[in-house]
Amino acid sequence: MNWYGCYTLFTREVRRFLNVNMQTIVAPALTAVMYLIVFSYAMGDRQVPGMEVDYFNFLIPGLVMMAMLQNAFANTSSSIMVGKLMNVQIILMMAPLSALELIVAFLSAAVVRAVIVGVVLLLVLVPFTHIPIGNIGFILFYGICGSIIMGAMGLIGGMWSKTFDDMALLNNFIIMPLTFLSGVFYSVKQLPEMWQSVNHWNPFFYLIDGFRFGFLGVGDTDPYKAMSIVLIATLISIAACLKLWSLGWRLKE
């Protein structure tokens, strides 16, 4: 394992998004705060049916997790797309780094960006509310696994896309709908029974719900059972990245 080379690539990826922190960190946090303000005023002091928690507190973990997922995806996808346009990926494929070392560096940087965005958003919201932390283990597990999954999807999406239009297509018609329809703004139990069943096929639902359970101690599903689903999805995502990078899928074109 070339740890020095892996760390060097990881450092490059972290510095890349820190150099434009207003775009990569401040802007996502501001967007989430605006969502929170709009929905909290629209819903008022209502409680979430069946959970006995204020809608404001219910919304915060979902928005934090949504911001983390979207930024993990954006970090790897933008890096690969820019690299392909500048022919940097050819240099990476020729570098003395294995597919494992490259994937570890890219996904670690995606996790770092996601965590920074999540922490910044929580710090911004601290003066306005008191949200409990019920189980830090669930928060870390679902937050990190979700960031890895989305980082891997961004990596694969960047490899697949030939232009930024392709990436926008993937983001607007797959990533965004799955994220918004995963229970960020509502409890799945409020949906008709048929749509509840459909929602359980959305992998993002388990990430949002498990992350929220870590804060509030309530959720729409059993977080312990969901852990196995999330862990399997994480391993599959990493394995897919390793295989596709080893093949140089769409990177040599």
Over the stretch 97-106, which tens digit does the pLDDT of each residue have? Answer: 899 999 999 9
Instruction: Assess if residue 252 is contained within a domain.
Output: no
The C-alpha atoms of residue 229 and residue 69 are separated, in whole angstroms, by 17
Count of domains forming the chain: 1
Mean pLDDT of the chain: 88
Instruction: Assess if residue 253 is contained within a domain.
Output: no
| Mean pLDDT, each 10-residue run in order, the chain (253 residues) | 90 92 84 79 72 82 91 93 83 87 96 94 78 88 96 94 88 86 83 81 91 90 90 96 91 74
- Sequence-separated (6 or more) residues with CB below 8 Å from residue 217: 132, 134, 135
Q: Can you give the pTM of this predicted structure?
A: 0.91
Q: Which range of residues forms the domain containing residue 179?
A: 3-247
Instruction: Assess if residue 134 is contained within a domain.
Output: yes
| CA 205 from centroid of its chain's CA atoms | 12
Summarised one tens digit per residue, pLDDT across range 69-114 is 999 999 999 999 988 888 887 888 888 889 999 999 999 999 999 9
Instruction: Assess if residue 83 is contained within a domain.
Output: yes
The C-alpha atoms of residue 224 and residue 137 are separated, in whole angstroms, by 11
Instruction: Assess if residue 18 is contained within a domain.
Output: yes
